[in-house]
Amino acid sequence: MNTALGAIRVKTKGPIESIHEKVLLDKSKKRDLDAFSKIVDAYQGRVLGFARRMLRDEDDALDLTQEVFLRAFQGIDGFDGRSSLRSWLFTIAHNLCVDKARKRARTPGQTSIETDPQTEDTIDFPDVRWDPADAAVKAELMIVLDKALDTMSEKLKSVLLLHDREDMGYEEISQTVDIPVGTVKSRLFLARAHLQRALGDYLNER
């Protein structure tokens, strides 16, 4: 099996220009593994990062990322181009992550916030990528945020990661997760509220 499909080779590259992406897709549909390997190189780092944050397990994330691209290669004839290639790949990743999470036994104390708020207004929450001067405080905050992600439902977590980590807009997330734009906004609101509550509890303790 070609290494592009048989093992994860983590490389970080920029997005493929749309004209080159179309060429690669056309060649991949003809089972050109060299062309598909370029797609893998361009997107596997992003997909792996998403899987890591969704599953919180390195081995599971690596296995799932490999499965994403295996499925993509096997089903590439069904990609009609109505969504972006990125959205299509993240749709596969999202569905696999949700399936994986459902198979896991729910841990005691795990919370699930599913009720949509009456308003779709967003709340301000600091970007988790900020760089505070004190490295120790940053490390503590990241632990707090990681724990908050662990107790967040998959529905909320996936929308938050796609928006804040992958810089997807509401419309693209809507296509990727297959939910209305209004639901995307509601879930993003709830996810940020969940993180803000965890951060507030941490700051109050300090």
Tens digits of per-residue pLDDT, 48-96?
999 999 998 899 999 999 999 999 999 999 998 888 899 999 999 999 9
Comparing 83-92, 125-134, 180-189, the range with the smallest average pLDDT is 125-134
- The reported pLDDT for the residue numbered 194 is 85
Q: Which residue has the higher pLDDT, 184 or 140?
A: 184
Question: Where in the chain is CATH 1.10.10.10?
Answer: 135-205
Judge whether 162 and 173 are in contact, CB under 8 Å.
yes
Cα–Cα distance list, 114 to 35, 117, 136, 154 (Å): 41, 9, 34, 10
pLDDT of 40 above 70: yes
Q: What length does the chain have?
A: 206
DSSP SS3 for 9:
coil
CATH architecture, range 135-205: Orthogonal Bundle (1.10)
The correct CATH number of 3-103 out of 1.10.10.10, 1.20.120.450, 3.40.50.300, 1.10.1740.10 is: 1.10.1740.10
Orientation of helix 154-164 relative to helix 181-205, angle to 10°:
90
pLDDT band at residue 137 using 50, 70 and 90 as cut-offs: low
- The reported pLDDT for the residue numbered 148 is 81
Q: Which residue has the higher pLDDT, 10 or 150?
A: 150
pLDDT of 114 above 90: no
Token pair in block for residue 76: 């590439």
Give Cα 59 distance to the centre of its chain: 16
Residue 117: CB atoms within 10 Å: 12
Q: What is the DSSP-derived secondary structure letter of residue 128?
A: T
